[in-house]
Amino acid sequence: MSLLPLLFSADPDRPLLWFHGRAHSAREVMQRVAAVARALPADGRYLINLCEHRDQFLVAFCAALVRGHTNLLPSSRAEGVVDEVAALNPGSYRCTDQFVDRWTPGIDDVCAFELEGEHLVVRAFTSGSTGTPQGHIKYWRSFVGSTAHNARSIREALAPTYGDKRPWIVATVPPQHMYGLETSIILPLLSDMAVHAARPLFPADIAAALADVPEPRVLVTTPVHMRAIVASGQRFPKTALIVSATAPLDVELAQAIERQLDSTVLEMFGSTETCVIAARRTATEREWRLYPGVDLRPDADGASVNAPWFVAPMRLQDFIEMHPDNRFIIYGRNADMIEVAGKRASLADLTRRLLAIPGVQDAVVFQPDAAGAGTVRRVAALVVAPTLTAEGITEQLAHGVDPAFIPRPLVLVPRLPRNEVGKLPREQLLAALKQ
């Protein structure tokens, strides 16, 4: 049975976290972990990690593992969602920022821990199509395997300018979601990188958090935040690398933010089920580069994917075309392709065309449910464009879009109902359409 370190760095005094105005070492953080681990219930099995601050989340996350428990990550911290996850997992208990704050480390607390490779680290929940939360499990060896490649991708992007200098991560995404967990919790634990505890949302807050930490700075974010940064005119400190995921990133936005922040954009491709399996520099590359060891096999309905660190092969709902040297192109998701009046189009492409209209700040095109049997399912759109009219937007869109795919209705809204990682739950879109 393989034992793998919880903290990979051989230097316990290297910086791991920035919070309360200063850098805190791996030794300090792991001593807090030991103190909280002692306080966890002896008869518990699953820690529902409800900590909102990244430093507290990391401490609680590790404390559960030290105690031999598993972290449960609900799709939302709403009370009803948490109660449902707890009911599905007997032996679960909740952990909040306030609980973590109660415990202070002792002078003899150790800072080195090992885990079995087959330790069940995380059960992350997404909302299933039936309404019942769907749990996705991750073992420690899986995180160790995938994170080594994430670290290598970031290191390769930074090396030409910064060599082996330690990067500092600032993340706009929450650690409760897989992308945020991989890049702002697991990555600092399993590499020599360090992370800012903040989760800044607005451009000025992002700039301030970046200014807190030394170079090289790595901004882990989403296309939604990147679009806000480009539109803000905000001045930013030197940012070495921008990592993007959760939604497709168009080349124009990637090039715009590289110019504005004098930076490089690294886009990562993965899912809750697979974690990250590929990356590309979107501003200059159309093809994705598979991580070493990943086996990707397209078929008529999507693709199968496997890797040595996977528990089992997984399915992707993306239309993929393989190219030489383990590179590939994504042509869209299975669910993204729609047909109206015998014609086919991509919802992502229609959304991209909307966003390209000057004055449109945010937008989404989607297909509501049919009004009744035998009726044509048209597309609808929600658009944030304070200076434009729906008629004017429709007129501009008609120059490049087939009439069958012009959104009807096209509704102007003050903001889109995005969740914490910028995604748009379907039920929220349908509700906004009716308002």
Model confidence pLDDT, tens digit, residues 361-374? 999 998 887 554 44
- Are 315 and 299 in contact by the 8 Å Cβ rule? The answer is no
Residue 28: other Cβ atoms inside 10 A:
17
* Residue numbers of the chain with a pLDDT score lower than 50: 128-130, 372-375
CA contacts within 13 A on the Cβ side of 190? 26
- Are 278 and 270 in contact by the 8 Å Cβ rule? The answer is yes
pLDDT digits (tens, 9 = 90+) for 62-105: 999 999 999 999 988 888 889 999 999 999 999 999 999 998 77
What pLDDT is recorded for position 75?
A: 82
What pLDDT is recorded for position 129?
A: 42
What pLDDT is recorded for position 371?
A: 52
Which pairing describes strands 194-196 and 15-19: parallel, antiparallel, or unpaired? parallel
Give dist(CA 270, CA 23) in Å, integer.
Answer: 31
Domains recognised in the chain with CATH numbers? 1-285 (3.40.50.12780), 341-434 (3.30.300.30)
- CB contact set of 287 (below 8 Å; sequence gap of 6+): 280, 323, 327, 328, 329
What pLDDT is recorded for position 10?
A: 67
What pLDDT is recorded for position 372?
A: 44
What pLDDT is recorded for position 125?
A: 86
- Which CB contacts under 8 angstroms, 24+ apart, belong to 307-316? 307/145, 307/146, 307/274, 307/277, 308/145, 309/141, 309/142, 309/144, 309/145, 309/146, 310/142, 310/274, 311/137, 311/139, 311/142, 314/271, 314/273, 314/274, 316/271, 316/274
What pLDDT is recorded for position 286?
A: 94
Q: What pTM does this model have? A: 0.86
